[in-house]
Amino acid sequence: MNEAAFHAEDGKGYQFLGDILEQLDKVNSKVAARTTASSLISWKRYNDKRAGLMKAQLERLKSMVPVSNDLLEIVSKGLK
C-alpha cells in the first residue's frame, strides 16, 4: 500500500478504500472485514483530521444496506 496516498490530507485514500470495501463486502465479506480491521479501525492513532476522515468511512460502511454481519461486527468494534 502507498501509505502517503492512503493518508492524504484530503481523505481520498480513505474514501477509495471505503468504495472498495463496499463492493468487496458483496462478494467476499470476510476479506472486506479483515481489510477494514487492518486499515481503518486504527483511526484513534492519527491526528484529529485524519481520524475524523477514517471514522467517517467506518460510519459509512456501518450504514450500508445491506451490510454483511462480518463487516458490521468489525466496523462496530472499530467505532468504539
- The pLDDT profile of the chain, 80 residues, written as one tens digit per residue, is 789 999 999 999 999 999 999 999 999 999 999 988 778 999 999 999 999 999 999 999 999 999 999 999 999 999 99
Please name the amino acid found at residue 2.
N
pLDDT in the model for residue 42: 93
The confidence score (pLDDT) of residue 2 equals: 87
pTM: 0.92
pLDDT on residue 71: 96
**How many whole angstroms separate alpha carbon 71 and alpha carbon 8?**
24
Distance CA 69, CA 11 (A): 26
